[in-house]
Structure 1
Amino acid sequence: MFRKIFEKVNFRWINAQHVLKMLENKKPWLVAIYAVIFFVICITLWQSLPSNSGHVAKVAPYTLHTSNTSGYLYPVQTLPQDDYHQLINLKNFTFAVFNAPCNDSNPLLLVLVHSAPRNFETRMAVRTTWGRNSLQVKVLFMLGLVKSHRLKVQIEKENEEFGDLVQGSFLDTYRNMTYKHVMVFKYAIYHCPQAKYILKTDDDVFVNMPLMLNFLTADLSPFGGSRMIFCTLREKSPVVRSWRSKWRVSFREYAAKTYPPYCPGWAVLYSPDVVFDLYREAQKTDYFWIDDVHITGTLIEKIRLKHVDVDDLVLNRNALYQPEKDRGPFLFGPPNMDDEEIKALWEYVEEHENRVSLLKYIT
């Protein structure tokens, strides 16, 4: 067997006479070198041989619940007494506008949508397409405060009509997005604890809701799961230092050259336990304004969680304008869609409802 191994790697077989000759010539160190090389080659080839134990199934980094008795209960009693009115470093947080559609219901999915206050038409596009409230799905739009009195009145009227806005007591600005993301967690924990899954999205996102519900109930579990974060994973992203970029981060804000693996925040699916763990960490961690990196990168590392990449389930933007036959199964449309694209894609989904398994597409 050893002769065959040596022949495979083009090594000449060393016979016993050759070894004795080296010893006679007082070259034991050369024998030792040959022995080490021989040992390393044997181990390497042995590890490369196919196993007789058959295919080993990939172990999922998350756990699925198999019965309703294993549902997650948020341990809010472990939080500080004044936690409800704290949002990271804001000590007097309140919900300026509030709705509680989860009362007396047990939704499968809670969808909390980051929305800019002025995006009235975009919110309407979501309401009339994939973001319709039902027994299984509760959809709310998350906003911050505005300075304009006129805009404030418009928001109040919108909420009176639709009852699906949640507004936190911080200004809705670009650098306050981490407040809004943690407010998503706070709302889920305190006001919709019965939801089995939490989806955080932006308002310019399309969710293939029929296939999403099939994915959660058939591929995953109608009773929920744990240790779960599904997103379009980004790795080794460089920290932007250019003054010309709105993403510029100073060395004082973030010293490393690259960010940890993180999820672009436009679509992140969480299990409740992950929501709670991230919320608890965010409440006691220094503020960093890029919420995607901070929450789904830095804080995910702190709780030692592995992301599940669903990038293969995002529809390519080119597919929006290609023949329908070129579109495979997808959970999300491409990011940064406009209102008309959202409406058109919803018409397509309604006409081509395809409840297929998606497990082979996630990694």
Structure 2
Amino acid sequence: MTRYSRFWTRLANVPAIVKLILIVNPVLYLFYGTRFNGFNYAVVTVEDNSLPRPANVYCRGCTIKDLQIIMGDDICYTYREQDTDLLVLLFTTHQNVEARNALRETWLSDSNDGPEGRIRHAFLIGRSNNHTLETLIQEENDIHNDIVQGDFVDSYYNLTTKTMLGLKWFRTRCPNAKYILKTDDDVYVNIPGLKDLISTYSHLLETSVAGTCFLNITPDRNVNSKWYVSEEEYPKKTYPGYCSGTGYLLSANAANQIAAVSATVPYFYLEDVYIGFCVSKLGYKFTVLPGFHSATSRPIDCRYKSESVVTSHRIAPDIQRKIWNMPCSVSYFYHYLM
């Protein structure tokens, strides 16, 4: 008897369920990527932001079970005995070092114990398949200690994973934060204006997500679109509601509840829509905040230092610095607000 004959003879005596596992497990391995790490959803395992989108973005009924934090454990440790008035979580990618530096030099520069209160920030990032980029991001974090990295490939199609990384990091590493702003590294944020909004809307923020919010938006069925969603992924005609991922604000209570309920909400690659699913399942609301702009607010002038502009999208690093250094008189604000 050859070794192959012996193999098939032994296999005949193996229980059916074990055979099924032997057959299915390699297939799952190929579909889900090179590591499971507790994930129970389709992780995109290549750094591909191009169109058409990767085939494994969708996984019916899959949820995010666990996320491994591999960098950024001690950002809030120094301030563990203090409440944090505001925690800013910023999406970034390895290559965007100039954008990060511009924010550190401008509106994030008072993020410890500045005049606007105790404000912390963290840049959220996944892994890169490029060893050089991984080394550089580690060296950058050694200097600034403000980068949180998760054990998943950094990709546009993993942005929902990145959001949940931020919420897990908040819950486990920076739990004293009272409010959380999720935004991107190309967004200008008027911190004084944001603090005023928090004071005004604090009662609503306990059970809502706030920013530039939308209701009854139709899913994009154009297969060539960056935001394409098939009817299999989402058969309903409209989304229940969501706030633009360019900047949304939530309380610690809302963030904790969203993180908890996400274990029961099937994965969806559009991160702001996914958060909207969680909000709707909780029975929470969407609150539109004045001054939040999901596009670039024009003209770029002293309005950026008034309550007229609290967030503005697609602001290049040099423009961030220009806004920060822009001389604006008190008389301008009085004239504008009148």
Q: TM-score, normalised by structure 2?
A: 0.72
C-alpha separation between the residues in 2 aligned to 1:291 and 1:341?
27
1:308 alignment partner in structure 2: 287
- Map residues 237-276 of structure 1 onto 2, 5 A cutoff: 237-276=217-256
Structure 2: gaps spanning 5 or more residues: 1-36, 42-62
Give the number of the structure whose residues are more often strand, by fraction. Answer: 2
C-alpha separation between the residues in 1 aligned to 2:166 and 2:253?
14
2:209 equivalent among 229, 237, 241:
229
Contact 1:116/1:172, CA 8 A, preserved across alignment: yes
Contact 2:205/2:254, CA 8 A, preserved across alignment: no
Q: Measured at CA, do residues 318 and 183 of structure 1 come closer, stay the same or move farther in structure 2, by a change above 3 Å? A: closer
Describe the SS at the equivalent of 1:307.
strand
- Give the greater-gyration-radius structure (CA): 1
1:290 equivalent among 263, 267, 270:
270
Describe the SS at the equivalent of 1:263.
strand
- 1:162 CA drift (Å): 0.5
2:148 equivalent among 166, 174, 194:
166
Contact 1:224/1:271, CA 8 A, preserved across alignment: no
Describe the SS at the equivalent of 1:247.
coil
1:187 alignment partner in structure 2: 169
Describe the SS at the equivalent of 1:299.
helix
1:101 alignment partner in structure 2: 75
- 1:129 equivalent to 2:103? Answer no
Taking only aligned residues, the RMSD between alpha carbons, in angstroms, comes to 3.0
Q: Measured at CA, do residues 353 and 187 of structure 1 come closer, stay the same or move farther in structure 2, by a change above 3 Å? A: farther
Q: Measured at CA, do residues 340 and 122 of structure 1 come closer, stay the same or move farther in structure 2, by a change above 3 Å? A: same
1:72 alignment partner in structure 2: none
- Map residues 1-363 of structure 1 onto 2, 5 A cutoff: 89=63, 93-103=67-77, 104=80, 105-132=82-109, 133-135=111-113, 136-217=118-199, 219=200, 226-295=206-275, 297-314=276-293, 317=296, 319-321=298-300, 324=302, 329-348=307-326, 351-352=328-329
What do residues 213-235 of structure 1 show as CA deviations (whole Å, max 9, x unaligned)? 34435x356x9962242110112
Describe the SS at the equivalent of 1:300.
helix
Structure 1: gaps spanning 5 or more residues: 1-83
- 1:99 CA drift (Å): 3.6
What do residues 142-194 of structure 1 show as CA deviations (whole Å, max 9, x unaligned)? 00011000100110110011110000001111111111111111111111111
Contact 1:99/1:165, CA 8 A, preserved across alignment: no
Describe the SS at the equivalent of 2:242.
coil
Q: Percent of pairs identical after alignment?
A: 28
Describe the SS at the equivalent of 1:301.
helix
Describe the SS at the equivalent of 2:213.
coil
What do residues 45-91 of structure 1 show as CA deviations (whole Å, max 9, x unaligned)? xxxxxxxxxxxxxxxxxxxxxxxxxxxxxxxxxxxxxxx96687466
What do residues 279-338 of structure 1 show as CA deviations (whole Å, max 9, x unaligned)? 11112222110111111x21111111111101444497453346x479852352321221
C-alpha separation between the residues in 1 aligned to 2:304 and 2:141?
39
- 1:208 CA drift (Å): 0.4
Q: TM-score, normalised by structure 1?
A: 0.67
Letter in 1 for 2:234: Y
Contact 1:141/1:165, CA 8 A, preserved across alignment: yes
Q: Measured at CA, do residues 310 and 162 of structure 1 come closer, stay the same or move farther in structure 2, by a change above 3 Å? A: same
